[in-house]
Amino acid sequence: MAKKKVLLMGKAHSGKTSMRSIIFANYLARDTTRLSPTLDVEHHHVRFLGDVMLNLWDCGGQDAFFESYFERDRETIFRSVELLIYVFDIESESPEKDFDHFCGVLEAIEENSPDARIFVLVHKMDLVAPQDRAHVLRERESLVAESCQSCGVQNFAVFGTSIWDETLYKAWSEIVTNLIPNIRLLETHLRNFCRLCDADEVVLFERATFLVIAHAQAADKRTGHFDAHRFEKISNIVKQFKLSCGKAQSSFQGMQVRNSRFSAFIDAFTANTYIMVIVSNPHVQTAATIWNIQNARTHFEKFIPRI
């Protein structure tokens, strides 16, 4: 089993533990208010895609803890890191101190884990007026880029997130995809499957978290979508439905949704994934799509995952 060390860092009360609990512990956003602040470092081992074990270090964000991370525990904390996820609170009252801590973390990462990939989440974006969010996020991205460049960091990505909408799933889907080394092979096979099914789109979701891990789209269907976050919205909706089924002592296998424009099939696929197939061609029979999904399972089991 591949073990991947992931650091989750940021100022106290920035929302680190809340997002972790929603993604990996099936919390609802409204339930995160009862979570206690993280003290020092909390270690969580999370299985992802069956054969990947995320060794998630949730680091407390109080100033005293950062001093310990940078001095006494520097090598222990920052050694052998695969991913760094740094969370900024968009409404922080001391942004300068936040960036001082961020620069200190970048320096320690460069010293101890120079190959680590870095993801920055500008969190609690729901507190910003909708018409101002794009501008605020661009400003924060610029500051993050300046900090990374000053520390010699080139490989980083920035996302605006909130626990109250699909942006959290979008960011974490991008993050975990970086832990799948055969992702290009998976996407190639998914494109072939999409073509053979005469489907518009095919999406793979990780079974436990329902994060998007791969997506394929027919060449003639790549324009015209009005919602860039449609898959993440589906992740959120279906995950909540799965939890509701569990509370009713029922198990979720899949669902079919139809309207005048398309049919959507969501079904358990491999041991560690769900699949969604979108078909708009009215000449494609439902039975044919279901049969294709059933027959593709054995093929995809061969390399989901091969970490």
pLDDT tens, 139-154? 999 999 999 999 888 8
Taking residues 70-98, report their average pLDDT.
Answer: 91
The mean-pLDDT minimum among 125-129, 163-167, 265-269, 300-304 falls in: 300-304
Write the CB contacts of 163 (distance below 8 Å, at least 6 apart in sequence).
15, 18, 19, 22, 29, 32
pLDDT at 203 over 90: yes
**Lowest mean pLDDT: which of 61-65, 199-203, 293-297?**
61-65
Q: How many CB atoms lie within 10 A of CB 145?
A: 14
pLDDT for the residue numbered 301:
85
Say if residue 167 is in the same domain as residue 268.
no
Which residue did the predictor score with more confidence, 275 or 52?
A: 275
Residues 172 and 190 in one domain: no
Q: Of 177, 209, 239, which one is at a domain's C-terminal end?
A: 177
Same domain, 244 and 280: yes
Domain at 247, CATH number:
3.30.450.190
203 and 171 inside one domain: no
Mean pLDDT of 216-231: 72
Three-state SS letters, 245-284: HHHCCCCCCEEEEECCCCEEEEEECCCCEEEEEEECCCCC
Question: Which of 121, 156, 177 is where one domain is finished?
Answer: 177
CATH number of 128's domain: 3.40.50.300
The DSSP symbol for 38 reads P
Same domain, 144 and 201: no
| Continuous segment of H or E residues that includes residue 138 | helix 133-150
Co-location of 163 and 20 in the same domain:
yes
pTM score: 0.87
In this structure, the answer to whether residues 171 and 219 fall within a common structural domain is: no
- Say yes or no to pLDDT of 185 above 90: no
Position 307 scores a pLDDT of 41
Note the pLDDT tens digit of each residue in 111-122: 999 999 999 999
Report the pLDDT value the prediction gives residue 222, as an integer from 0 to 100: 57
